[in-house]
Amino acid sequence: MQWIDSPFSYWGCYHTPTGFATTNNPVEQFNNAIKRDYSLRTLLKLVALAEQLSLMCRYRSRRTYVFAVESKPNREMQDRYKYLQKNGRLSVIQSHKHGLDFLLDGPIETHIAYAYQLGAQPRLPTPDTGLERKKLGKRNKHRMETAEQPVGGWRVDMEEKSCPCRSWYKYRLCVHVLAALYASGKPIPGEKQVKKRFVNRSCKRKGRNAAVSPVLSYK
């Protein structure tokens, strides 16, 4: 309950569902549609309000809406994952190789992986300019990926696609989940799966093929 009394309690991310935008999210857009199309931005009486809500329910029940059931990584998050992998700052350890789990008699959680990310190097203070303030905002965004990271790394659930880092709680997806899914070969949300092509690697026999014969002589 400490965050309620903190100066950051008014942040939009605390009052919106995980993975939704803090502004222009579907909840706000739906509320705006009710005021624009049905109440006409006026205070209605109880009977008139019930009639308008009934009309809205009949109209919206006849339309089909496509709902997204999972978060998909955008281009920025994919580039961030590739950057961390290229610089060796992101590693994934499967659950059966983590700690002393392989010595215990309990069941092995194959859907659990541990992603460890190295933090960025500290920077020297620079003059306060517009470009520097923009970079500072991006660094603060990246700092959410490693804030309060456990010694053994983040515990990633690949079935639920969840991670206890702050970045996941805001976007409902993070680079740690992507790293765990890529390492285990599981499908990535929103990414097309490439079908494997099977190639005939059997050794070819030497000599002429039995099906090959001179022209007009094969029956």
pLDDT, tens digit (0-9, with 9 covering 90-100), for 154-213? 999 999 999 999 999 888 899 999 999 999 888 888 777 766 676 666 766 666 666 666
**95 and 41 share one domain:** no
Give yes or no for residue 124 having a pLDDT over 60.
no
**150 and 102 share one domain:** yes
- Asked if 139 contacts 197 with a C-beta cutoff of 8 angstroms, the reply is no
Confidence (pLDDT) at 121? 63
Contacts of 14 (CB under 8 A, 6+ apart): 3, 8
pTM strictly above 0.75: no
**83 and 178 share one domain:** yes
The mean per-residue pLDDT over the stretch 91-117 comes to 71
Confidence (pLDDT) at 178? 94
Higher-scoring residue by pLDDT: 101, 76 = 76
Nearest-angstrom CA–CA distance, 23 and 12:
8
The angle formed by the CA atoms of residues 93, 99 and 103, to the nearest 5 degrees, is 120
Identify whether 207 is part of a domain. no
The C-alpha R_g of the chain, in whole angstroms, comes to 28
- Asked if 14 contacts 2 with a C-beta cutoff of 8 angstroms, the reply is no
**141 and 105 share one domain:** yes
Give yes or no for residue 48 having a pLDDT over 80.
yes
Higher-scoring residue by pLDDT: 144, 126 = 144
Contacts of 95 (CB under 8 A, 6+ apart): 101, 108, 109, 110, 111, 112, 113, 114
Confidence (pLDDT) at 209? 67
Report the mean per-residue pLDDT for the chain: 79
Confidence (pLDDT) at 47? 93
Q: Which of 65-69, 136-140, 143-147 has the highest mean pLDDT?
A: 143-147
- Asked if 19 contacts 25 with a C-beta cutoff of 8 angstroms, the reply is no
**84 and 176 share one domain:** yes
Q: How many residues does the chain have?
A: 219
Q: Which residues form the domain of 17?
A: 2-61
Identify whether 96 is part of a domain. yes
Q: How confident is the model at residue 96 (pLDDT cuts 50, 70, 90)?
A: low
Confidence (pLDDT) at 1? 47
Query: For 2-31, what is each residue's pLDDT tens digit?
Result: 556 777 677 777 777 777 777 677 777 888
Higher-scoring residue by pLDDT: 85, 190 = 85
Q: What torsion do the CA atoms of 71, 76, 77, 78 make, to the nearest 10 degrees?
A: 100
Distance of CA 71 to the CA centre of its chain: 5
**96 and 38 share one domain:** no
Identify whether 97 is part of a domain. yes
* Percentage of residues in the chain having pLDDT higher than 90: 27
